[in-house]
Amino acid sequence: MHDKELYQQILGIGKPWFVEAVELDKDREEIQIKVGLKGSVVPCCPVCEKAMSGYDSRKRSWRHLDTCQYTTIITADVPRGTCQEHGVRQIGVPWAERGSQFTALFERLAIDWLTEASQTAVARRLDLSWREVHGIMKRAVARGLLRRDFHDLELIGVDEKAFKKGHNYFTLVTNLKEGAVLHVGEERTTKALEDFYDALSDEERGEIRAVAMDMWPAYITATENKVPDAKIVFDKFHVVKHVVDAVDKVRRKENKALRKQGDDRLVGTKYDWLTNPERMKNQQKREFRALRDSSLKTARAWAIKETLGDLWTYSYGAAARSFFSRWYGWARRSRLEPVKKAAKTVKNHLNNILTYLKFPITNAMSEGINSKVQWIKYTARGFRNPENFKTAILFHCGKLQLYPHQMS
């Protein structure tokens, strides 16, 4: 008698449900809690909540939080009835969500663990199959997406992420103010981004004032089509990257030419030209200074690249434009083909680069998200398909309300 009351209390089970029996199966290291219904209950449809005509009952079981290391299972005969609209349905129970084999408290525990450890580790610790763990995660995300309402959408970022190196791209839309992933689209197509814009109401779309992105035509098209009033801000790191790559091309070519003449000054310097000199150790700094002050082509390309960074320090459009035209002239006269080409790309996109002066946003603002996505990829050995990757990103980076409804 005592143990029944105890379980009734800790499970938070109330009328008409009650704990009928508690049994300990020592061999299986399991505690079985049988829950029954007191009195007659009019079964209500779980979908429309209308009374159903009586039908029968089916035995079901749910895994609950362990009791002193014993696996604890709740079982109950749950009535089914016939709803005029929805057919034969089983009534809902207060300790679990529909369709789950776990109690709400157990799912909550699993969700807490999943936010801190890999799916494989959680499966091992809670003695669940990988499939069960993933099921909990998927339901949590579905629940969170249903509860979510979009707000504060003024500044968003669109970025691409590779699922596996070199292929399977995803489109990630981020709320830059909140640092939350709003949408994960497959591929990096116009449609992948338009799907996000289409999911918003007119009012929500109207909130978007600026979108940070790479100079990627598909994202530009989607944004111009769906949110024509929003400003596009080309991500400054992506823009600079074009010139950084040009410096590297110049270095490779020059290195080859020098080595033919027995000059190996540029050998092994690739990363020196990519590293911020301020982060270099003293010895490295001294050696690099000699290189960059030399008359090498690579040094010239590097100086052009470094100077471009100043573009983002201006406050006024006119001043920024006159700086840029000086810079562009210098790059054009550099006689370095890769640099000239990169400068042309930057020039063609200048209008939507200078929008930064009004909306200083970049995708690197959501650095926390980038490192989480890296972690997800790292712990993703069990992922068989992109859908699972998508679920994991929304689970960890969506800032969603993931828990099931609390037991009453």
Q: Under the rule (CB under 5 A), what is the footprint of Zn ion? A: 45, 47-48, 83, 85-86
The two most distant CA atoms of the chain are separated, in Å, by 97
Q: Give the nearer residue to Zn ion in terms of CB position, either 47 or 257.
A: 47
Minimum distance from residue 184 beta carbon to Zn ion (Å): 33
Half-sphere exposure of 52 (CA within 13 A, CB side): 26
Q: What are residue 60's DSSP bridge partners? A: 76
d(CA 177, CA 156): 8
Q: Give the nearer residue to Zn ion in terms of CB position, either 21 or 88.
A: 88
Q: Give the nearer residue to Zn ion in terms of CB position, either 78 or 117.
A: 78
Whether the CB-CB separation of 37 and 16 falls below 8 Å is answered with: yes
Per residue in 22-34, is it b (16+ CB within 10 Å) or e — as a string?
A: beeeeeeebbbbb
Q: Give the nearer residue to Zn ion in terms of CB position, either 45 or 111.
A: 45
Minimum distance from residue 53 beta carbon to Zn ion (Å): 12
Minimum distance from residue 407 beta carbon to Zn ion (Å): 23
What is the DSSP code string of 250-294? HHHHHHHHHHHTT--TTTT-HHHHHS-GGGS-HHHHHHHHHHHTS
Amino acid at 273: W
Minimum distance from residue 81 beta carbon to Zn ion (Å): 9
Q: Give the nearer residue to Zn ion in terms of CB position, either 55 or 312.
A: 55
Minimum distance from residue 96 beta carbon to Zn ion (Å): 19
Rounded-to-10 torsion of CA 323, 326, 327, 329 = 160
Q: Give the nearer residue to Zn ion in terms of CB position, either 31 or 45.
A: 45
Minimum distance from residue 104 beta carbon to Zn ion (Å): 22
Helix axes 337-348, 297-308, angle to 10 degrees: 10
Q: Give the nearer residue to Zn ion in terms of CB position, either 14 or 87.
A: 87
Minimum distance from residue 79 beta carbon to Zn ion (Å): 14
**Residue closest to 89 by CA, chosen among 30, 144, 45:** 45
Q: Give the nearer residue to Zn ion in terms of CB position, either 88 or 267.
A: 88
Minimum distance from residue 43 beta carbon to Zn ion (Å): 11
Which residue's Cβ lies closest to Zn ion?
Answer: 45
Q: What are residue 19's DSSP bridge partners? A: 35
Query: 166 is written with which tokens?
Result: 């070199």
